[in-house]
Structure 1
């Protein structure tokens, strides 16, 4: 089922106008289901004590421990009953406008392909394991589900303000690579971490990265790494605060201030930062696990 690339510039044959396609669950091979099971088994063993309580609750509520790649229809019925979201299949990375429209309407787009067995530790494009195992459990949390929908609406507005790069950084440092402070200490909730065997350990245990208190404007000024471990992680005090900041901020004047401010390079600490952990920056650049 997997192809070499899933970056597309137009809907492929058979796709709807909104880029959705049938998941094709019955076409998955035994080997593809086995790849999911292998990824699930090794990652789920690593997450207790590391993943946020909301993520672990979502994992259980959605019954993702059942063997094989989840059927999106069954998964969506469980998720919709909790927070109104559904999971829709797409053939690969979709254009920004399509992505934001689905998010704003509580539809999470997930790739319907899975990585090959020789790609367990690295995949450049998000596959069904990253999308479903990484993202969907957090959408079972009512507050985070509201944040994700608000982000989709914000993305639609940002496209008309020439400000998409700033909102993309917010997604990167929260939805993909966010940390949260809980009673037991720092926990991971970003999908790029929880679905990565290597970064699950790196984000919390390695002395190299900085762990900084979340600040909206600071995050939106910060550059990021696409294919390597992050060197700045931003820590939210709670999902309610993340939602509050998102819905109460007037983004139009914020974008104008950001455009007049220099970007902050990867790994840099600025004087205004509240530093929770100052990193050693000892990590030697290399390819991160997906």
Structure 2
């Protein structure tokens, strides 16, 4: 997601894009990409939605080193009409939505350092490109992302950005999907994280709940640790139908004034795949005198 900010960084175009300047990457930075790619590549098969693995193949992202956005965009454009553009960091919401609405995915160009391999505060190129871009080669998910951008531009004028941000968080970033052989991950925040790829499917701690748009838009989320609840869609087609092909203005009005729900809330009407123990979240509420080492999530 973008953020509420107004000052465009020096050197950025009016749409906040910058050159990737692929040639500036060092051997150490390419090696970091390869290290992260190898780790996720070994662990994800069987856990991630098959469409993600297909996207890696279509876009030939298994080649060594940080992808060149020009070459990546050429392949992606042939698949679904999308392209990847570099930005200096988080961009304003309106800019973010406009890029998505025009089938442009914004990606940071920096890569984490070895001391940040398991946690960093701002998304890097591995999160943005490895985590997000493969599914943009899937026509249905590509349509969903474009429609999300179009919906964001409308929500901006309705004062409903926070509601829509929750949809992005619980689908694009931390979504699960139900398939014939069980639950799979597809959200980029999970797919690009070794720890959360395991936690989201295997750990008894989090709730895993059936996707419900009204319910989801009332639910808070955690930005600095593993999620306490994940929402499970039935298919990308159903996600597109429920969100992108529906006028959400009446829903925003309906939800206006309703209280937010806690990240670990369970409601009587929830479709529960897993009733979580919340043991992990409770363990993080440690006394002040305890060590806070390794307190962040793996990203």
TM range, normalised to the smaller chain?
over 0.9
- 1:23 aligned to which of 7, 20, 23: 20
Gaps of 5+ in 2: 285-294
Deviation string, structure 1 residues 225-277 (Cα, Å, up to 9, x no partner): 00100011000000000000113322111001111311111111011101011
- Contact 1:134-1:192 within 8 A present in 2 as well: yes
How many residues get paired? 285
Instruction: Identify the residue that residue 90 of structure 1 maps to in structure 2.
Output: 87
Equivalent residue for 1:108, pick from 83, 105, 110: 105
SS at match of 1:77: helix
Summarize the Cα distance change of 1:8–1:66 in structure 2 as closer, same or farther, 3 Å threshold. Answer: farther
Aligned with residue 55 of structure 2, among 34, 58, 69: 58
Distance in 1 (CA, whole Å) between partners of 2:209 and 2:223 is: 19
Quick one: which of 232, 247, 260 aligns to 2:257?
A: 260
Match of 1:192 in 2: 189
Measured in 2, the distance between the counterparts of 1:171 and 1:89 equals 20
Distance in 1, matches of 2:5 and 2:244, equals 32
C-alpha distance after superposition, 1:87-126 (max 9, x if no partner): 0000100000000000000000000111111100001101
Q: Paired residue for 1:289?
A: 298
Q: Which residue of 1 aligns with 2:115?
A: 118
1:276 maps onto 2:273 in alignment: yes
Give the Cα–Cα distance (whole angstroms) in 1 for the partners of residues 167 and 217 of structure 2.
6
- The yes-or-no answer on 1:171 pairing with 2:164 is no
Do the aligned residues in 2 keep the contact of 1:8 with 1:92 (CA within 8 Å)? no
Aligned-pair Cα RMSD in Å: 1.3
Q: What is the TM-score normalised by the length of structure 1?
A: 0.96
Structure 2 residue matching 1:160: 3-state secondary structure:
helix
Q: Which residue in the other structure is 1:4 paired with? A: none
Provide the TM-score with structure 2 as the length reference.
Answer: 0.93
Provide the rounded CA distance (Å) in 1 between the counterparts of 2:25 and 2:296. 29
Moved over 6 A (4+): none
SS of 2:121's equivalent in the other structure is: coil
Please give the residue correspondences for 1:110-259 in structure 2 after superposition, counting only pairs within 5 Å.
110-259=107-256
Q: What SS does the aligned partner of 1:255 have?
A: helix
Q: In structure 1, list runs of 5 or more residues that go unmatched.
A: 1-6
